[in-house]
Amino acid sequence: MEHRSWAEPWKIKMVEPIELRTRDEREAAIERAGFNTFLLRSDEVYIDLLTDSGTSAMSDRQWAGLMLGDESYAGSRSFYHLVDAVRSVYGYEELVPTHQGRGAEHILSQILIRPGDVIPGNMYFTTTRFHQEHAGGTFVDVIIDEAHDPDSTHPFKGNIDLDKLAAVVDTYGAERVPYVSFETNVNMAGGQPVSMRNLADVYEFCRRHGILVMLDATRALENAYFIQQREGGYQDRSVASILREICSYSDGATVSSKKDNLVNIGGFLALRDPELAARARSLLVAFEGLHTYGGMSGRDMEALARGIEEMVAGDEHVRARVGQVEYLGNTLIKAGIPVVRPIGGHGVFLDAAAILDHLPQEHFPAQALAAAIYRDSGVRGMERGIVSAGRDPGTGENRHPNLELVRLTIPRRVYTQSHMDVVAESVMAVYERRHRVGGLRFVYEPEQLRFFQARFEELPA
Ligand code: PM9
């Protein structure tokens, strides 16, 4: 068939007004927020690209599901609908529902990690690593080198380097490695996928060594789409069947349902082993809620079950979702703005180190760039660099990630192509006068996950 553009497989039924504040109001807001976009009030934001987490627009079918949610404390009908959806779409038998992704990470880390253990993974994620360290483990990054290079166009920058993984197992012994933490469509690398070949190879390696493979399948749908587009032999397969195959190379998964699954709250831990699931459930009742709701209301679970079914109902949903992200990314690339390539699945990642090359990493270029874009246009992005990386718990020193990025994250089914044009114009305007953007320093640095609540002030010029 001749080439046709993607278009969203839906039309808009309800709208929520947004408003652009004046420049003076934006200046006051970002100062009040301590130059941290997390501390802005949403009313102060025009186009909100802070995160794709919990910001999706639900469908009419999901909203209808809210009315049908079964709020029984135990054995809710909506829970069993969710179990069926996870079994048929992801292929895991055992479902442990949680209030969101980090709830699942907490339970998984507590049941599998003993103090002194080592957890290899393909680049850290903030909350995932926090829970691994909180359980007494140490995370070791075994992602391929290309992932740390914003300019590498490797099609699967999320892949695990098997030599690095083997070296970890050699050094510490398989008995100290409870599982490999394998993220699909790696967030901190720029939304970069893992290939099916790599998933299969890692699983086979781990089986030989008696090590479990636990996916972070939060954005596995987007990963499945990239496999369909980029990996030989998958062009004619549905995204749904590719997603099932991805999960087949694992023993379980944690999922933040606030992303791919098209709901505003929710998550789960899914497992194959009933004995492991029983251990998870016994902790669940202490930390999250009963094993048939785990922190979600009946209506949340009903909307989630429907969101899971909907995301794979056809390939057009994910094609349009990633298509919109690529539209923004390609517009910026054409304008010569340094961004992480290839364009990722859930957002466009600006290379703040290259854009603000007059600032050392200690002056927080990505934090400063996110604040400058907000000032320019009311567009809210997020720092993903040295502030997010935090301090090494052993030495107390700042970690220095190679990637110093601002993430412009696209919520699902929320904004139009015109919004993307406005965002691109703002990034270009800030880029034009980039040398006028100064650095920042901490005035308040929280001990854990500091990027959420830290406050900064501008360094004197
Ligand atoms: N991700 C994001 O904006 C929300 C909070 S952190 C800024 O990208 C992965 C790959 C995630 C993720 C959250 C979680 C935690 C786990 N894995 O936020 O607890 O991207 O539902 O999930 C965010 P919850």
For residue 37, give the CATH number of its domain: 3.90.1150.10
Assess if residue 239 is contained within a domain. Answer: yes
Name the catalytic one among 129, 384, 407, 412. Answer: 384
Rounded to the nearest angstrom, the distance between the alpha carbon of 282 and the centre of ligand 1 is 24
Rounded to the nearest angstrom, the distance between the alpha carbon of 267 and the centre of ligand 1 is 10
Clarify whether residues 267 and 280 are in a common domain: yes
Assess if residue 2 is contained within a domain. Answer: no
Name the catalytic one among 48, 216, 251, 300. Answer: 216
Residue located nearest, by CA, to atom 3 of ligand 1: 51
Rounded to the nearest angstrom, the distance between the alpha carbon of 218 and the centre of ligand 1 is 8
Assess if residue 17 is contained within a domain. Answer: no
Residue located nearest, by CA, to atom 18 of ligand 1: 101
Clarify whether residues 282 and 396 are in a common domain: no
Name the catalytic one among 259, 281, 306, 321. Answer: 259
Clarify whether residues 339 and 378 are in a common domain: yes
Q: Which residues of the chain have pLDDT under 50?
A: none
Clarify whether residues 165 and 243 are in a common domain: yes
Clarify whether residues 256 and 122 are in a common domain: yes
Residue located nearest, by CA, to atom 5 of ligand 1: 53
pLDDT at 162: 98
Structure confidence by residue, pLDDT tens digits, 273-286: 999 999 999 999 99
Residue located nearest, by CA, to atom 4 of ligand 1: 53
Last residue of a domain, one of 286, 311, 336: 311
Assess if residue 446 is contained within a domain. Answer: yes
Please give the structure tokens belonging to residue 439: 């650095």
Clarify whether residues 191 and 280 are in a common domain: yes
Helix 23-32 to helix 365-377 angle (10° resolution) is 150
Please say whether the beta carbons of 123 and 189 come within 8 A.
Answer: yes
Q: Which residues line ligand 1 (CB under 6 A)?
A: 51, 53, 100-102, 125-128, 183, 187, 216, 218, 256, 258, 267
CA-52 nearest atom, ligand 1: 3
H helix count then E strand count, the chain: 16, 14
Last residue of a domain, one of 261, 290, 311: 311
Assess if residue 11 is contained within a domain. Answer: no
Most ligand 1 atoms within 8 A of CB, residue of 139, 188, 218, 410 to mutate: 218
pLDDT at 1: 60
Clarify whether residues 249 and 141 are in a common domain: yes
Please give the structure tokens belonging to residue 298: 């009946």
Rounded to the nearest angstrom, the distance between the alpha carbon of 256 and the centre of ligand 1 is 7
Any catalytic annotation for residue 452?
no
Clarify whether residues 391 and 413 are in a common domain: yes
Clarify whether residues 241 and 271 are in a common domain: yes
pLDDT at 461: 75
Rounded to the nearest angstrom, the distance between the alpha carbon of 428 and the centre of ligand 1 is 28
Assess if residue 9 is contained within a domain. Answer: no
CA-186 nearest atom, ligand 1: 10
pLDDT at 460: 87
> Which structural domain, as residue segments, surrounds residue 209?
60-311
Name the catalytic one among 73, 399, 416, 444. Answer: 73
Rounded to the nearest angstrom, the distance between the alpha carbon of 381 and the centre of ligand 1 is 15
The length of the chain in residues reads 461
Last residue of a domain, one of 289, 311, 333: 311
Most ligand 1 atoms within 8 A of CB, residue of 107, 185, 256 to mutate: 256
Assess if residue 5 is contained within a domain. Answer: no
Clarify whether residues 168 and 294 are in a common domain: yes
Q: What is the pTM of this model?
A: 0.96
User: Residue 208's CB: how many other CB atoms inside 10 A?
Assistant: 10
CATH number of the domain that 112 lies in? 3.40.640.10
Clarify whether residues 118 and 219 are in a common domain: yes
Alpha carbon of residue 294 to chain centroid: 21
Any catalytic annotation for residue 73?
yes
Q: What pairing do the DSSP bridges indicate for beta strands 382-384 and 405-409?
A: antiparallel
Assess if residue 175 is contained within a domain. Answer: yes
Clarify whether residues 355 and 423 are in a common domain: yes
The CA distance from 384 to 366, in Å, is 7
Number of folded domains in the chain?
2
Rounded to the nearest angstrom, the distance between the alpha carbon of 121 and the centre of ligand 1 is 16
How far apart are the two ends of the chain, measured CA to CA in Å?
A: 57
Most ligand 1 atoms within 8 A of CB, residue of 125, 134, 264 to mutate: 125
> Would you list the DSSP string of 85-135?
HHHHHT--SEEEEESSHHHHHHHHHHHH--TT-EEEESS--HHHHHHHHHT
Any catalytic annotation for residue 258?
no
